[in-house]
A and B are shown apart, each in its own frame.
Chain A
Amino acid sequence: MKKQILKSPLSSSHRSGFTLIELLVVIAIIAILIALLLPAVQQAREAARRSQCKNSLKQMGVAVQTFEESFKHLSTSNRPPATGSKRLAGLVRLLPYLDQAPLYKNYNQSLQWSDTNATQRSVVSTVLPTLLCPSNPQAGKLDGDPDSTTTPTGWAQTIAAAGDYSFSKGVDRGVQVLLPTVLSATSGLFTDPTAPANRYYGGMFVQNEDAKLRDVTDGLSTTIAIHESAGRPYYYRKAAGQIGSVPTNRVNAGGWCRPASDILVTGQLPNGAGLFGTVAFNATNGYDVGAETYPSGAFGVQGTSQPFAFHSGGANFCMGDGAVRFINDKIAFGVFVSLVTRSNKEVVGEY
């Protein structure tokens, strides 16, 4: 036995070490492992941002349900036509349920959101982190007052803090001609109770009506309540990135205090160069009104933003039951439209 121990390689005079080749091989393996890991770290950061985004939407989803529990109707936006009455965004009504009760108390509902009153201005310019997606490079910027846009560049980025999440108002009637098998030209339209000429395929948060959960007959789990629409009021396309800057390039939406930030889905061209195409979302965050005076020639007084996220491959949506889903942006447009409408009786398959 003793002899054998003595003969072990460590104690022998013929010591073995690492050759240069062996050392190089080990270094190469370590380098490959690091190269594999580094992109993974970057992906982990984006995954973290995406889950924070989901968390914010979940908070809003819970707030929507709590509001409904208290008032027995949803926190829809009001954009009343009668002179003297004021616009009121659904998100303002939701503030007490997002831990922002003091902000809600300071908001004067007898004034327009864009009023020059100092308290009103300080409320609407408050940046709310819950309403911001961390993947948005423009998070925390301000939106302006469209009424001041008497010349295309007269718009000033001064008044309202922008948010990345907005209520789902419905589907624009211009989508019907693109999807004749999904939408009926004559039925399923929601009529604005205060302006009968204003009709669209109603989503969960139709405007000017205290919509109730029972109005969502398509099912709460298959109806979108809140869209992600990031980057507003700046104009973005997925392929080309940010186009120009404000005020020469902008979408008419963004401020969380604005009813016009609510989203009326139109569909988009594949590269985002225009709306009313067959791509559901993520090609662009809206229609560029930068060259126009207010109201817009194509959209009038309506907001012009569309669902859009800086996450790769899709966007987060809060459904009517409070569940948050990451929906792939390759979703068929007809299926997405079925998810937006609240009472069009479509059967929604897998998506």
Chain B
Amino acid sequence: MKHSWKLTTLLMAASLSVGCGGGAKPWETVYPVKGSVKFDGKPVIGAQVVLFPVDTKVPEEIRPTATTGPDGTFEVGTHDAKDGAPAGEYKVAIVWHPLVPTESGPVRGDNKLPPKYAAPNTSDLTASVKPEATGVTLTSFELKK
């Protein structure tokens, strides 16, 4: 009897560890990422920055994004605002739709940045996020006409 109890406990523990195993997916861990955007040497305010993972195994809903603040700097967020991005290589797309005045008040207008930066396959901007808990500061994105 004693022996069978031990066996049952062992089996249960084994099945539990199998059920809960697998571990977190690599893109669930994020590291702080900072950067800044300049266009013709001036900081861009309110631009959208989107990081597209080069690794095609990363699911489509993992798209670290950011919006630039009043000084053109940004902090990337993936699961939460400004929480960071998973480690890896990225292509970076940037658009900027500033408010334009109309008779009924300001609305979001056309993209004021060169269109090549708007898509990951035409943009030459890249980012590399290393798994460092202290965070990564990207080199400033200097956009030109």
Contact = CB atoms under 8 A, between A and B. Distances in A.
Interface of A: 79-83, 172-174, 176-178, 180, 185-186, 192, 194-195, 197-199, 269-271, 273-274, 276-279, 295, 297-302, 332-334
A173 B118 CA distance: 12
A176 B94 CA distance: 11
Counting from the closest, the 4 A-B pairs by CB-CB distance are A81-B103, A301-B105, A300-B106, A81-B104
Contacts of B62: 278
B67 interface: yes
Given A199-B109, A299-B108, 15 more contacts: A81-B104, A176-B95, A178-B65, A186-B115, A269-B80, A270-B80, A271-B80, A276-B65, A297-B46, A297-B99, A301-B105, A302-B108, A332-B61, A333-B61, A334-B60
B108 to A, nearest CB: 7
Interface in B98-127: 99-111, 115, 118-121
B34 interface: no
B106 A295 contact: yes
Contacts, number: 107
- Chain B contact residues: helix, strand, loop or mixed: loop
A278 B61 contact: yes
Contacts of B115: 185-186
A208 to B, nearest CB: 9
28 contacts: A81-B104, A173-B108, A174-B108, A177-B94, A177-B95, A177-B118, A178-B50, A180-B93, A185-B111, A185-B115, A194-B103, A195-B104, A195-B107, A197-B101, A269-B79, A269-B80, A273-B77, A273-B80, A274-B67, A277-B63, A279-B61, A295-B99, A298-B46, A301-B104, A301-B106, A301-B107, A333-B61, A334-B60
B38 interface: no
Contact of B79 (A172, A180, A192, A270): A270
B97 interface: yes
A198 B63 contact: no
B66 to A, nearest CB: 9
Interface residues of B, number: 36
B27 to A, nearest CB: 12
Contacts of B110: 197, 199
B137 to A, nearest CB: 21
A277 B80 CA distance: 10
A47 B50 CA distance: 39
